[in-house]
Amino acid sequence: MAGECSSAIFNIFTMPIPSRLFAKNRNNLASQLPPKSIAVFTANEPMPRNGDEFYPFRQQSDFFYLTGIDAENAFLLIAPDYPDECFREVLFIEPYDEVKATWQGEMLDATQAMEISGVKTVKGSDAFYSVLNDMAFSGYGDTIFLNSFEYPKYECAVETIQQRFVKKIKALYPMHNFGRTAPILNALRMVKSDDEIAIIQHACDITAMAFRRCLETVKPDMFEYQVQAEIEYIFKRNNATGHAYAPIIAGGKNACCLHYSKNQSKLNDGDLLLFDIGCEYQNYSSDLSRTIPINGKFSPRQKECYNIVLDVMKEITQLYRPGHCINEINQAARKAMGENSKYLIHGVSHHIGLDVHDSIDKFKPFEPGMILTCEPGIYICEEGIGIRIENDLLITEGEPINLFAGLPTEIEEIEAAMQR
């Protein structure tokens, strides 16, 4: 069952992700392609920062999901019906460049790419278009499936390499039929394999350690960025690749800004501090929210508001079972909030995985192996009170499994931990 992790994957935290994960993902995609189809993918490119600097490279999630390759200038081609079995899966990587290797470090070779991805045929990326051309006109590639990030609430003015790639392929083969891999991959990525569940659990464990450190160190007159530094110390010490998203360390009224990320303000005695943090480990995300009193003791009004949110969380957690869906969770949360629902200004659940917002299908019934957040909140701007509590829940055949189990959540637990 998807929720059971075998001992064979315990070494996943000191070794590369096993290639079986990526091979299984490719097979699942290939099984849903119509006859005489080709699916093509391009890796991400470095994103410019300023001057001659780039942001740290992060692979496009679908490409990583299918290959495990964390490098630029790469392509993947999947052609399930192609007569030559050696070319039903082809991975293309950047040819070795001695100058680049000298300046930027060791480059991936064909043997390494094969071991990581499980793809048996690996070629240089300079051969991609010639191989694709042969397949497209062979009679076994009538439809070309193209990949692009599809998320209904996301807009970006920057044209991605995937969007440029789509335009180029359509220009090269204007008489072909085209399909979209996004609907297939979005659905596949919702249900996590045992390997993925183990990685996400480890990401949650690291994030939980960071929060516990904050319980021990937060005090009045610190700054939000100092709290962030404590979190990043734990992330890096435990080999996380960084944040899964911009961390929210919001004291007092800052917590009423849902995506507050300046993290520059002083923490005032008597205020609450809202955390929304999550490390990324081997490209997989975790997502945690907690709210604590900066001085270690909740006021009576803070307790009242906190318990409203906590009671709602406990109630709606019971709905994280097969057959329910995110839309039902949102409706149940607002009903449970009663007259306080006007202070709940966001949805309370989303899928997580390679992206912190892995899918937004609000009507897809839950299945074992899905991992979703449960994050009710209350935001009373006029009182400077913002409270959010969030767990990551694994759907099973029965009760959901809280991947942050044991982390202080009750008022008494939080206060006791802070007093220590």
Q: What is the pLDDT of residue 116?
A: 97
Query: Which residue among 135, 167, 189 closes a domain?
Result: 189
Query: What's the average model confidence in pLDDT over 385-400?
Result: 98
Residues 16 and 123 reside in one and the same domain: yes
**Cβ-Cβ contacts under 8 Å for 29 (sequence gap 6 or more):** 39, 66, 78, 181, 184, 185, 188
Query: Which residue among 168, 189, 210 closes a domain?
Result: 189
**Residue 149 resides in a domain:** yes
Could you report the per-residue pLDDT of 326-361, keeping only the tens digit for each? 999 999 999 999 999 999 999 999 999 999 999 778
Residues 258 and 294 reside in one and the same domain: yes
Residues 144 and 276 reside in one and the same domain: no
- Rounded to the nearest 10°, the torsion over CA 228, 288, 360, 196 is 100
Residue 44 has pLDDT above 80, yes or no: yes
**Residue 2 resides in a domain:** no
Largest CA distance in the chain: 73
- Which range of residues forms the domain containing residue 254? 191-419
Q: What is the pLDDT of residue 1?
A: 36
Nearest-angstrom CA–CA distance, 159 and 233: 34
- CATH number, domain of 93, equals 3.40.350.10
Is residue 14 very low, low, confident or very high in pLDDT (cuts 50, 70, 90)? Answer: low
Residue 119 has pLDDT above 50, yes or no: yes
**Residue 69 · residue 113 · CB < 8 Å:** yes
- CATH number, domain of 211, equals 3.90.230.10
Residue 143 has pLDDT above 60, yes or no: yes
Residue 382 has pLDDT above 50, yes or no: yes
Residues 149 and 275 reside in one and the same domain: no
Query: What's the average model confidence in pLDDT over 255-273?
Result: 97
**Residue 40 · residue 215 · CB < 8 Å:** no
Residue 192 has pLDDT above 70, yes or no: yes
Residues 219 and 129 reside in one and the same domain: no
Residue 12 has pLDDT above 60, yes or no: no
**Residue 67 resides in a domain:** yes
**Residue 283 resides in a domain:** yes
Residues 181 and 265 reside in one and the same domain: no
Residues 323 and 415 reside in one and the same domain: yes
Query: Which residue among 144, 171, 189 closes a domain?
Result: 189
Mean pLDDT lowest among 10-24, 163-177, 399-413: 10-24
| Mean model confidence pLDDT for the chain | 94
Residue 83 has pLDDT above 50, yes or no: yes
Query: What's the average model confidence in pLDDT over 5-22?
Result: 66
Residues 284 and 249 reside in one and the same domain: yes
Residues 244 and 370 reside in one and the same domain: yes
HEC secondary structure over the chain: CCCCCCHHHHHHHCCCCCHHHHHHHHHHHHCCCCCCEEEEEECCCCCEEECCEECCCCCCHHHHHHHCCCCCCCEEEECCCCCCHHHCEEEEECCCCHHHHHHHCCCCCHHHHHHHHCCCEEEEHHHHHHHHHHHHCCCCCCEEEECCCCCCCCCCCCCCHHHHHHHHHHHHCCCCEEEECHHHHHHHHHECCHHHHHHHHHHHHHHHHHHHHHHHHCCCCCEHHHHHHHHHHHHHHCCCCEECCCCEEEEHHHHHCCCCCCCCCECCCCCEEEEEECEEECCEECCEEEEEECCCCCCHHHHHHHHHHHHHHHHHHCCCCCCCCHHHHHHHHHHHHHHHHHHCCCCCCCECCCCCCCCCCCCCCCCCCEEEEECCEEEEHHHCEEEECEEEEECCCCCCEECCCCCCCCHHHHHHHHHC
Taking Cα atoms as reference points, which of 286, 249, 295, 240 lies closest to residue 13? 240
Residue 5 has pLDDT above 70, yes or no: no
Residues 161 and 267 reside in one and the same domain: no
Nearest-angstrom CA–CA distance, 83 and 399: 46
pTM: 0.94
Number of domains in the chain: 2
Residue 193 has pLDDT above 70, yes or no: yes
Could you report the per-residue pLDDT of 201-242, keeping only the tens digit for each? 999 999 999 999 999 999 999 999 999 999 999 999 999 999
